[in-house]
A and B are shown apart, each in its own frame.
Chain A
Amino acid sequence: MHPAAWIFWVTCAAIVAFTTTDPFYLGLLVAVAWFVYAACHVPGPTARSFRVFLIAGLVAMGIRTLLVFLGTIELGSVVYAALEGMRLAAILVVFGTFNAVTDPFGVVRLAPRRFHEPALAAALALAIAPRTIASVHRVREAQALRGLSTARWRSLPALAIPILETGMEDAVTLAESMDARGHGRGTRTRYRPQRWSAAAVATVLAASAAGAAFIVAATTRTGGLHPSTFPLIWPVASPWLLAAIGLLAVPGVIGRGRDA
């Protein structure tokens, strides 16, 4: 599918997550993102990074909630923090899905010429992150075979330094390679430009509807986007907005249909 369609999808899904702290909306959003991931991900290292985004999301949610215990402990503030954390987790899961379903460079290549520097930085980050994640296991194993355990905090440098330094070296090599191959010269052409398929158009329309629904709900303060925690009440969800989130599953439905 055209990378621009995925950019639309991730933007609208992120808008949903940003505009609400309602656990029903966020829960459904995570489920939908997972479904899209399962149906559309391309096998490879970026697909494996989905799990890392998921774990990062759960950790962020846990930390956000635990921080409350440093101050006054009231059920309302704990719930409030947990919902904020859940929103953060949902955003991470949405981006994890985006990362897994599309070739990150395909997206970077769409950047207009004047954004060449930021595009280069983004390309490097997108390329190096999954490789760095993959090297954690490799370095831990190599240190074990030298007799070093990397399980304790004290031995963190034995793990972190080789990973970071190798990651830096890889980034420099890639930057050199891109420059040596003419990145940022100006007039570009496209090899096999990707066409807008019906699936891509359907995805853009569905995602836009979902994003628009939440923007309208946020500006009109309807739909119970932010359940009250002072006083603590049971959150409610509007069936219309739940259906809007459901629209974000469109690329997943199409992707599954294609496999079958």
Chain B
Amino acid sequence: MSGTVALRHEGVTFSYPDAERPALRGVDLTIDEGTFALALGPTGAGKSTFLRTANGLVPHFTGGRFEGRVTVAGRDTLQHPPRRLADVVAFVPQDPDASFVLDRVEDELAYGMENLGVDPGHMRRRVEEMLDLLDIEPLRGRSVRTLSGGERQRVAIAAALAAGPRILVLDEPTSQLDPQGAEHVVAALQRLVHDQGITVLLAEHRLERVAGAVDLALGFDRGTVTVGAPADVIRGMAVGPPVARLGRSVGWDPIPLTVRDARALARTLPARAIQPVNASGAVHVELLGVTAGYHGVRALRGIDLRLREGEIVAVLGRNGSGKTTLLRTIAGIHQTEAGEVRVGGRAPRPGIDVGLCPQEPESILFADTVAAEVRTTLNARGFAEDPAAKLHALGIEDLATCHPRDLSAGQRLLVATAAVAAGRAPVLLLDEPTRGVDPEAKERLARFVRSHAADGGVVVLATHDVELAAAVATRVVMLAGGEIVADGDPAAVLGDSHVFAPQMTRVFGPGWLTPEQVAEAMA
């Protein structure tokens, strides 16, 4: 590290307006220039709030009670609103789509520089540099609305960097990306730190994607922060990538953060026998030669798929490989061009035979309380059940009287899942359920999914989260270019993939999926 301070927090305590307890409590830390720093911790622990103090969005955009001092490149954020810090800090929010100001990629890259009054000649050169640095030159003339998730994230980073800030702040930059796309983004960030000396600060839940790349970890817990080397901070917290969870449970010290660290520490385990997919349930969902598309894009090509009662099927594949279209087709809301979809022997009736929890859970939440949200579904379907049972199934009975919009991303997902499941459709589809979701909510969702399948239901998850697939799926279907390229037991399919292999498979070989399995075998 060069030793120059990029960001300094001194005794920062902050409460949102009308909040009962502070979101940040006595945060004291400095981040040196050229550091790659990771903020981690459960939802609601203060990560996002902390990130937003770095360029003054907190408190300038939020109001609330702010004590202490934040200085960024020597400027006090209380005296400088975000626009006066735009030349030193750049901020990339979680959903880059909502943050794009202009339509064309090139214009979007130039927008920040226009505001800073950068000389036009310099601006032209700078845009070209950014296009190369983030590897997005072929996208220059495209509309930002037509880009894939990974492309959007890279354009958002390039647009943030173009203005020449020394600090780049990103809120969950890989949450919408497939494993390959996430790797590209993390590698690009690492290059910025190493080659340009830029300070990068990011928040992330999927630690397996970033833990090995960062120099400094900020562990958040109910508004307080622990700062230290990543391995030390992660050891003290309940979270961590699968290799770290394994290390913690078998007592490795220091705990590993990457597959490479873990390999050095691990003894070889015998190959684990791969079970064939248990095919005892009756076939409930049938897709016969299904071809479907949208806006002239052929998203599915001749899909044949039979799903049985009791199965939990993870559908994996790149951004744009047809996962969402497959779910929509099973749900009966997407017109097929050819082929047939049958659920329980007939054409699926949306909401009755098949329920779907959408990618943005908030798009179905509208009631004043969580209990009322679930009751709405029960009433619409004519069930006289008490919502409490459904809330209990997802472990959210304590949220019954909360307003759904006040909840964290993870809690909203659980509420939306309860609201969909209340319709008692035997087939439950979850589209990218773990976006922005902390490990605790993920665990509750996993428990619910298992019990739904155990009761004879069918669960289909479209996801980028290979660790989730490794932990809950009984079967994995891999899509590429609208076709099924692999279908079978998770150990067999994931074990055979370079991109989609979970960490345990990478360390111990095919067959090993979760840290729990490995810890048991090592005991």
Q: Which residues of A contact B (CB under 8 A)?
A: 44-45, 103, 105-106, 109, 123, 127, 135, 138-139, 141-149, 157-158, 160-162, 165-166, 169-170, 172-193
Q: What are the interface flags for B49-86 relative to A under an 8 Å C-beta threshold, 1 for contact and 0 otherwise?
A: 00000010100110000000000000000000111111
Shortest Cβ distance from A202 into chain B, in angstroms? 25
With A44-B143, A139-B363, A178-B101 as given contacts, are A185 and B377 in contact (CB-CB < 8 Å)?
Answer: no
A-B contact count (CB 8 A): 172
Q: What distance in Å separates the Cβ of A156 from its nearest Cβ neighbour in chain B?
A: 10
B376 interface hit (Cβ, 8 Å): yes
Residues of chain A within 8 A (CB-CB) of B83 are 179-185
Task: Describe A's contact surface by its main secondary structure.
Answer: helix
A237 → chain B, closest Cβ, in Å?
39
| Closest B residue to A134 using CB positions | B145
- Kindly state the separation between the CA atoms of A173 and B57 in the bound complex, as whole angstroms: 11
Stretch in B11-19, B392-400, B417-425 touching the partner? B417-425
Which of B33-41, B117-125, B484-492, B497-505 lies on the face that meets chain A?
A: B117-125
A146 to B99: give the CA distance in the assembly, Å. 30
* B95 at interface, CB cutoff 8 A: yes
Output the nearest chain A residue to B103 by Cβ-Cβ distance: A103
How long is the Cα–Cα vector from A183 to B101 in the complex, in angstroms? 10
Q: In the complex, A144 Cα to B354 Cα: how many Å?
A: 10
Contacts of A190 in B (CB 8 A): 114, 120
Alpha-carbon distance A178/B111, docked complex (angstroms): 9
A149 vs B120: C-alpha distance when bound (angstroms): 54
- Chain A residue, CB-CB nearest to B159: A181
Q: Which of chain A's residues have a CB closer than 8 A to the CB of B358?
A: 138, 142, 145
* Shortest 8 CB-CB contacts between residues of A and residues of B: A182-B86, A191-B110, A182-B115, A177-B99, A161-B366, A147-B351, A147-B423, A187-B117
B380 engages A189 (CB within 8 Å) = no
The residues of A that contact B363 with a CB separation of less than 8 Å are 135, 138-139, 142, 162, 166
A105 to B145, CA, bound (A): 14
- Residues in A with CB closer than 8 Å to B120 are 189-191, 193
Complex CA gap A106/B119 in Å reads 19
Asked whether any CB of chain A lies closer than 8 Å to the CB of B127, the reply is yes
Q: In the complex, what residues of A have CB within 8 A of residue B101's CB?
A: 105, 123, 127, 174, 177-178, 181, 183
How far apart sit A190 and B113, CA to CA, in the bound complex (Å)?
9
- Interfacial chain B residues near A141, Cβ < 8 Å: 333, 350
Q: Is B179 positioned at the interface, with any CB of A under 8 Å from its CB?
A: no
Residues of A within 8 A of B113 (CB): 189, 191
Chain A residues with CB under 8 A of B85:
180
Residue in B84, B99, B116, B425 whose beta carbon sits within 8 Å of that of A173 in the complex: B99
Query: What chain A residues lie within 8 Å of B93 (beta carbons)?
Result: 173, 176-177
How far is it, in angstroms, between the C-alpha of A157 and the C-alpha of B352 when the chains are bound? 21
The residue that A191 contacts in the complex, of B81, B84, B114, B350, with Cβ under 8 A, is B114
Give the chain B neighbours of A173 by CB distance below 8 A.
93, 95, 98-99
Least CB separation from A171: chain B residue: B98
B residues neighboring A (CB under 8 Å): 55, 57, 60-61, 81-87, 89-91, 93, 95, 98-104, 106-107, 110-120, 123-124, 127, 143, 145, 159-160, 163, 331, 333, 350-352, 354-356, 358, 360, 362-366, 376-377, 380-381, 405, 419-420, 423, 425, 429
Contacts of A180 in B (CB 8 A): 55, 57, 82-83, 85-86, 89-91
Chain B, residue nearest A187 (CB): B117
Contact between A179 and B81 (Cβ–Cβ < 8 Å)? yes
Q: Is B366 a contact partner of A189 (Cβ separation < 8 A)?
A: no
B residues near A165, Cβ cutoff 8 Å: 362, 366, 405
Please indicate the chain B residues that have their CB under 8 angstroms from the CB of A169 in the complex. 98
Instruction: For B332, give the chain A residue with the smallest CB separation.
Output: A145
Q: Which residues of B contact A172 (CB under 8 A)?
A: 61
Contacts of A185 in B (CB 8 A): 83-84, 86, 115-117
Residues of chain B lying within 8 A (CB to CB) of residue A147: 351-352, 355, 377, 380-381, 423, 425
Asked if B98 contacts A174 (CB within 8 A), the reply is yes
The residue that A176 contacts in the complex, of B57, B364, B425, with Cβ under 8 A, is B57
The one of A105, A149, A176, A191 in contact with B380, judged by C-beta atoms closer than 8 angstroms, is A149
Q: What's the Cα separation between A135 and B313 when bound, in Å?
A: 28
CA distance A103 to B356 in the complex (A): 35
Question: What is the CA–CA distance of A106 and B429 in the complex, to the nearest angstrom?
Answer: 41
Closest residue of A by beta carbon distance from B84: A185
Shortest CB distance B394–A (Å): 15
Cβ B356 vs Cβ A145 within 8 A: yes
Which of B101, B120, B127, B354 has its CB near the most chain A CB atoms (within 10 A)? B101
Nearest B residue to A191 by beta-carbon distance? B110
The residue among A123, A146, A157, A189 with the most chain B CB atoms within 10 A of its own CB is: A146
Is B143 touching A170 in the complex (CB atoms < 8 A)? Answer: no
B329 to chain A, nearest CB (A): 13
CB within 8 Å for A145 and B355 given contacts A139-B364, A166-B363, A182-B87: yes
Question: In the docked arrangement, what's the CA distance between A142 and B429, Å?
Answer: 12
Check A44/B351 contact, CB under 8 A, given A138-B363, A181-B163, A191-B120: no
Which of A103, A105, A139, A188 meets B115, CB within 8 Å? A188
B350 touching A145 by the CB < 8 A rule?
yes
Docked-complex contact A176 and B82, CB < 8 angstroms: yes
| Closest B residue by C-beta to A181 | B112
Question: Which residues of chain A have C-beta atoms less than 8 A from B419's C-beta?
Answer: 146
Give the shortest distance, in Å, between B132 (CB) and chain A (any CB). Answer: 17
Q: With a CB–CB cut-off of 8 A, which chain A residues contact B87?
A: 182
Instruction: Tell me if A146 and B366 are in contact (CB < 8 A).
Output: no
Inside 8 A of A127's CB, which chain B residues have their CB? Answer: 101
Tell me whether A146 and B98 are in contact (CB under 8 A). no
Q: Are A170 and B115 touching (Cβ within 8 A)?
A: no
Check A186–B350 contact: CB distance below 8 A: no
How close is B70's CB to chain A, nearest CB, in angstroms? 15
Compute how far the CA of A251 lies from the CA of B421 in the bound complex, rounded to whole angstroms. 54
Apart from A148-B351, A161-B366, list 8 A-B contacts with CB within 8 A. Answer: A148-B377, A166-B363, A176-B61, A177-B98, A181-B90, A181-B101, A191-B110, A192-B106
Contact assessment for A146 and B82 in the assembled complex, using a CB-CB cutoff below 8 Å: no
Tell me the nearest residue of chain A to B86, going by C-beta: A182
CB distance from A117 to the nearest CB of B (A): 12
Q: With a CB–CB cut-off of 8 A, which chain A residues contact B354?
A: 145
**Chain A residues, CB < 8 A from B123:** 189, 191
**How far in angstroms is the closest Cβ of chain A from B163?**
7
Please, which residue of chain B has its CB at the minimum distance from the CB of A141?
B333
Residue of B nearest to A139 (CB): B363
- A-chain residues with CB within 8 Å of residue B104 when the two chains form the complex: 103
